Structure 1
């Protein structure tokens, strides 16, 4: 198969779909061809010579990558100019996060591309193995950036999360006890903060309690406990996820009015529409804004700020699936692996992901056989 790896063009996105090591595996050990756009790996410290040595053909333009590739492997959702280059019969393998993005959904449907989303691929335990590496990065970053945003120069209340002897530490509330929330709590605890994590699963709360012990406070998530935990927090980290669907709005505008001015909200769920009512996507160029006296950090590609770590972690998870799609062809690969099939979001102008269809009020096709249209 001819695999294409374009340079990412989203603002301040430095990750790349395949590392030179991944290219080498695909070319030397599996017999595929890989086209890489010139400069695609610059953000992770890999130049065109590294890709050439790994066996890739380095080409001058994204137009050539998209025009020739049978499968395009990316990191972030395709931007409008990239959607215009996609075609029917071509496979796109990347993060999509379609639920809150009807414009992208319409563009991909019109293109006819077969789009497989990293974030809805599952495993035997029902986990999301291609989302997990970036969730780990984003969760750890959330506490770091939240601590920085609490500084007075950044608009924050001037709170040091770890405190000092004789002064209480900052209070961190983490909404969601999944991969993002667990990693956010780990870093916040390491900084010395007073951390509370909320989740709707008693089993998950018990696991967190066993893992972290009394250093971490756990609460079952209800409207009342969320309100109480947010009210007293210096830093709130939104870490909720409904696979493939829009994130629920857990923190309302009214709740912000009861928080101390200069408190910080970091919305890691912004890719799926955000879990704060006042959230709107930001970029690494302008990552924060003030709303009702609160600092909001809502960067939609947080791991892009640490591209060397993020790209390697992502490739560790995606490479086996890339190779499966290339070795077997996408139809046979999806037929052989129901967990990879769960990643199929669109095919030939038809939507195949029920949560996206529900979020946008669209019809969808059951991906098993593509033979039955279900009305949402």
Structure 2
């Protein structure tokens, strides 16, 4: 079976993890701070906080921005459910902004209309979470400007986007946002097996996220009520969580990040090959904005509307090609239907879902396997 995504693990990666196993620290050692430093070097953000998953960091980011009961958070309906669930963890409500048909990303025009109406209704969100679908950046200048003008904070969900750029800045630099979140699940651009990172340029948000990540505990004596206690002493100042990343995971990330640029280069080459080979088939390749460089986590195509996607999906799987679909709109999940959402609430998102298909894309995808994927899809469509 040709998978839709797959990690690339080198001898150096294995050696890095083995070295931690042979060290004094399996967790809360030197590897996590080093990984955070490496993320800052890649993104040019001032601060980074690592955790056990991107979902945890989405939760922590919302908490750091003060999201709680009575607040509202808006995100995209075309995303994994964690982008919406994080608001509910904080006791807030969730709503969605429809997407651009061409990218599947949050639509700035739809956002502007929704913000205008929300201001009239005195129901503006506290936080906006645009999602960089497939590694393609949203139009963050437009989205960030709108959010700022209405006093709304912004968390970029860049779970797909490490190594990508927008407008000359790396995704994660937080040029138009307060916080950016990355994921390091095995099928992502680089992996820590499981893990996530938040970047920010605001030291208060950095300190707050670091505190929420680890039980609400601080060790900074300048902030303690009892600074004269011994070196063993720590204080809990808020209700936090055990969302810490281990040194084992961070060591893998520190090894992987050395190959980040090569991974991005190879993904873009493979994406270009798909685009060239599929250009005459009447489908649309979902591509990034012209002023951005995508991490290309996913290779998504929009099938012609007369094609029955399920037939294509099943036929490709029968050929041992693990195509996928990203994503079923969050507002149509049964849990969210119970909250009052319904079909046709976000028509662009629903149309995007109805016709999208994800083709295999990962750095080790062999040329002969990609050619087989292309020829199989071509045969089915023609």
Give the TM-score band, short-chain normalised. 0.3 to 0.5
TM-score, normalised via structure 1 length: 0.35
TM-score, normalised via structure 2 length: 0.34
